[in-house]
Structure 1
Amino acid sequence: MYDQTIVGLDVGRSAVKVAAFSNGQIFHLTFPSLVCLSIELSDENSIRAAELETVVVDGLKYFTGDTARLQGGAATSVGLSNDWTETPEYLALVLSAFKRLHCMGVTGLDSSYIVVGTPAALYGKQRDRLEELTRKAVPNADVKALSQPMGAYLSFFLAPNGVPVYERFKDAKGRKKSWAVIDVGHFTTDFLLMKEGVHIDRKSESCEGIFLAAEHLARILSAKGIDASPVDCEASLRTREIQHFGIKDVTEEVADAANFVVSKIMTKTNALLFAEAAKVDGILLAGGGAEIIHESLAKQWPHIMLLPDARMAVAEGFCRFGKAQLLKRAAAITVQQKVAVNG
């Protein structure tokens, strides 16, 4: 039924999230979006630990993930620009994801069906180029690019086997349902409106992401004598703790930093969805920063839904989309075979 390995690949600016399906098994993978040129290591244990997270791009070796942070001193996530996928760092993260999947036992990766994502506002401009760039890492793969909020929507609309969940498409009377999506990522917050099953282009836009909160948290902590890297602050937004001569609680500081970015996201959200919010059946909230703004949005819109495992929702939706496409392909082949036999 699924004749290819499927890889849903969400290469975010804070973390790489992967949902893969191979030989009847689902595999999930997450690692920090950190990349740096490799350095020579002398300790045998360190060399072995770094091997899994070391890749080669255009003849140069790169550390990725935690090895880049620990051994290379990488303290800033990649890609705080719209064209970052043109850089060696993007290819390094894709190659690293596939190397890690291989070590997890995923087979068929060389000829897999890969689904990758772009910010909503850049989808039309970047789709073809992103597919081309991803094929550089996996030349024999089928590559399809979708907008990132579409991935979140598909994680809700499609069942784990790739089949549409009917009651999320139509109600008991056959009325087509409408859904909005807010995907709160590191670099961008992306918006999507599916009105009666139709994608509304003018509502596919983006605004600032949660990195602004991390930057503001760094300023707040610095004023209190705590120097923290962007990577440390990104982690603190989730854990509400930071290590500074021991573990310190920074719940209040995180709340102040979150309010800074929430106000910006709320302004864009209202501009895009205010007229639509009361008319949709629900607003789906996804992304690594979803929990940070959920409470604020819920006060305004009671029908907002925080998706399960919101950080993985885009990658999961991409994987389910891949399954749906392979099911369609298999059905089309069956029809052709029946026509050939009966003809």
Structure 2
Amino acid sequence: MKTSVFAIDVGYGNTKYAHRAASGTIATGMFPSLAPVAASVALSGYDDRKLDRKVLAKIAVDKIDYEVGPDVSLTAAYGKTGRALSDDYVQSKNYAALLYGAIHFAGVTHIERLVLGLPVHNMPRYSSELRDRFTGDHDYGLGRVTIEKVVVIPQPLGSLVAASSNRQNEFGRDSAHLVIDVGYFTTDWVYANGFTMDDRRSDGIQGGASQIYQRIAELLTKEWKRKVVDIERIDQALREEKPFFFYNHNINLAPYLDQAQNVIDGVVDVMKNNVGELSNVRSIILSGGGGALYRTGILNAFPLNTVEVIEAPCMANVKGFLIVGEAGLIRERATAKA
């Protein structure tokens, strides 16, 4: 299938993708950003009459097979789940496997414009590399894919565009907003007047939702005298508002989340020092999978501002990426006709 614009947000926590369906609506998908090396023997598909077949794809990157998809295991021996948490994440084989996995699950084989996002602080360092790496023809073991052009934008810009899509009268040139994207590994923020970023008041740091999960894991380890390593299950329990099952105990994580508030406050303090007073900001928009976790900390830091958690925060960036890509392609085609 050929598509004019395809957007992928290869996050540290989840990989999200979006494209325009034939009906005109935005089609989306998401799966965990886990890319373990594929097992040499796949027992899970041994007898389809008795076992449900997992929704997984085997993606080849530099002659190594990785498993990616909605049913990838959240747990592994010694915590080796195939998640990469590092600042050079976009250079890793895991990143490439997840990106190709998104293309595969969408059934796309030809992309005119691929839109990707980067944490704000990584834009100068990695944007050109991403464009060079993924432009052209690729074969990841499941068929050839052609990508004509790659566009890279700051991640929170996607949420800004998504937030404004149905409220354009609130996002005029003289309307300032602060968009905070709380990802799995990083927290990024964009201060913008309309859609013009203020580079001096936009930034990002390592310090996303995973740091909260890791702090909770440390607290659980201390209290239960057993090492807790599977932070993916802590993430899942908090998102689904369910107990964390641990050695035959159902543990309520709410008290541990309260004890981890100092981790959130540390990140918020760095951001507050960067953006300064927000007397002219019409709203603070929280986005990303960890947005809801940071809401209390943001409210405490900016008590006089309106704070809102964007609808479907996990998918906001990638939907915005798609809108940005479509607008750019329209301008490009209009210029070519002129």
- TM-score range (shorter-chain normalised) is 0.7 to 0.9
Could you tell me how far apart the structure 1 residues matched to 2:26 and 2:70 are? 24
The structural deviation recorded for 1:77 is: 5.8
1:56 has 2:60 as partner: yes
Residue by residue over 1:129-150, the C-alpha shift from the partner in whole angstroms, topping out at 9 and shown as x without a partner, is 1222233655433210001111
Could you tell me how far apart the structure 2 residues matched to 1:219 and 1:231 are? 14
Pick closer, same or farther for the CA change 1:124–1:45 going to 2, 3 Å: farther
Residue by residue over 1:305-342, the C-alpha shift from the partner in whole angstroms, topping out at 9 and shown as x without a partner, is 211111111111101112212332344455x3xxxxxx
Could you tell me how far apart the structure 2 residues matched to 1:157 and 1:209 are? 24
Could you tell me how far apart the structure 1 residues matched to 2:165 and 2:74 are? 39
Question: For the Cα contact (< 8 Å) 1:185–1:287, is it kept in 2?
Answer: yes
Pick closer, same or farther for the CA change 1:100–1:71 going to 2, 3 Å: farther
Could you tell me how far apart the structure 1 residues matched to 2:115 and 2:32 are? 19
**1:17-36 map, 5 Å:** 17-23=16-22, 24-36=24-36
Higher relative strand content: 2
Could you tell me how far apart the structure 2 residues matched to 1:268 and 1:71 are? 33
Q: How many residues align?
A: 317
Counterpart of 2:89 in structure 1 is 84
Could you tell me how far apart the structure 1 residues matched to 2:146 and 2:263 are? 39
Could you tell me which of 88, 94, 99 is aligned with 1:94?
99
Compute the RMSD of aligned alpha carbons: 2.6
Counterpart of 2:162 in structure 1 is 155
Pick closer, same or farther for the CA change 1:303–1:291 going to 2, 3 Å: same
The structural deviation recorded for 1:75 is: 4.6
Pick closer, same or farther for the CA change 1:313–1:99 going to 2, 3 Å: same
Counterpart of 2:204 in structure 1 is 206
Could you tell me how far apart the structure 1 residues matched to 2:154 and 2:4 are? 21
Residue by residue over 1:239-293, the C-alpha shift from the partner in whole angstroms, topping out at 9 and shown as x without a partner, is 3421221543222112222x03211121112101222x11122111111110001
Q: Which runs of 5+ in 1 are unaligned?
A: 160-164, 337-343
Residue 7 of structure 1 aligns to a residue whose secondary structure is strand
Residue 6 of structure 1 aligns to a residue whose secondary structure is strand
Question: For the Cα contact (< 8 Å) 1:216–1:260, is it kept in 2?
Answer: no
1:305 has 2:308 as partner: yes
Question: For the Cα contact (< 8 Å) 2:135–2:147, is it kept in 1?
Answer: yes
Residue by residue over 1:210-254, the C-alpha shift from the partner in whole angstroms, topping out at 9 and shown as x without a partner, is 211111010111123253512122223323421221543222112
Counterpart of 2:281 in structure 1 is 280
The structural deviation recorded for 1:194 is: 1.0
The structural deviation recorded for 1:58 is: 1.8
Could you tell me how far apart the structure 2 residues matched to 1:70 and 1:149 are? 27
Residue by residue over 1:74-98, the C-alpha shift from the partner in whole angstroms, topping out at 9 and shown as x without a partner, is 6546231111211111110011111
Counterpart of 1:10 in structure 2 is 9
1:186 has 2:222 as partner: no
The structural deviation recorded for 1:71 is: 9.0
**1:237-276 map, 5 Å:** 237-240=238-241, 241-244=243-246, 245=248, 247-257=250-260, 259-275=261-277
Could you tell me which of 324, 330, 336 is aligned with 2:327?
324
Letter in 2 for 1:238: R
Could you tell me how far apart the structure 1 residues matched to 2:191 and 2:102 are? 30
Letter in 2 for 1:11: V
Runs of 4+ in 1 over 6 A off after TM superposition: none
1:141 has 2:148 as partner: yes
Question: For the Cα contact (< 8 Å) 1:131–1:143, is it kept in 2?
Answer: yes
1:37 has 2:60 as partner: no
Q: Which runs of 5+ in 2 are unaligned?
A: 139-144
Could you tell me how far apart the structure 2 residues matched to 1:80 and 1:35 are? 12
Instruction: Output the TM-score relative to the length of structure 2.
Output: 0.85
Instruction: Output the TM-score relative to the length of structure 1.
Output: 0.83
Letter in 1 for 2:63: G
Residue 184 of structure 2 aligns to a residue whose secondary structure is coil
Counterpart of 1:293 in structure 2 is 294
